[in-house]
Amino acid sequence: MKNQFLNQVLQNGVRKALRNPKYRGLALITALFYLASPLDIIPDTIPIIGWIDDGVIASIVIGEVSQIVLEQMKKRNKNNYNENEVEFSQQQANAVVDVEAVTVN
């Protein structure tokens, strides 16, 4: 029970740090440094088990980088959509429509 609580607290802390724009870059740089450094939580000399921590960190880095890229693409698309919408609204405002009135009996 105690280990599960500690694990949940650590996961929530890491998740909050990665979602915070202030710390996101620092967390990614730290993760890349961890992957490049010879020091590990579980040494790589232990086959398979030693690679698990590196795999988890690498998957977190890949997931966060892809999320950053997707967010940037959404912002860019949203800005392009807003610009096109303003341009279309201006075209509609400048359009003149001539109407001939006809009486209907």
Check pLDDT > 60 for residue 5: yes
Cα–Cα distance, 46 to 92 (Å, whole number): 69
For 53-91, write each residue's pLDDT tens digit. Answer: 788 888 888 888 888 889 888 888 877 776 666 666 666
Total-model pTM: 0.57
Cα separation, 12 vs 30, whole angstroms? 18
Q: What is the pLDDT of residue 100?
A: 77
Alpha carbon separation from 97 to 85, 91, 93, 104 (Å, rounded): 20, 12, 11, 21
Residue 1 has pLDDT above 60, yes or no: no
Domain-wise residue ranges, the chain? 2-84
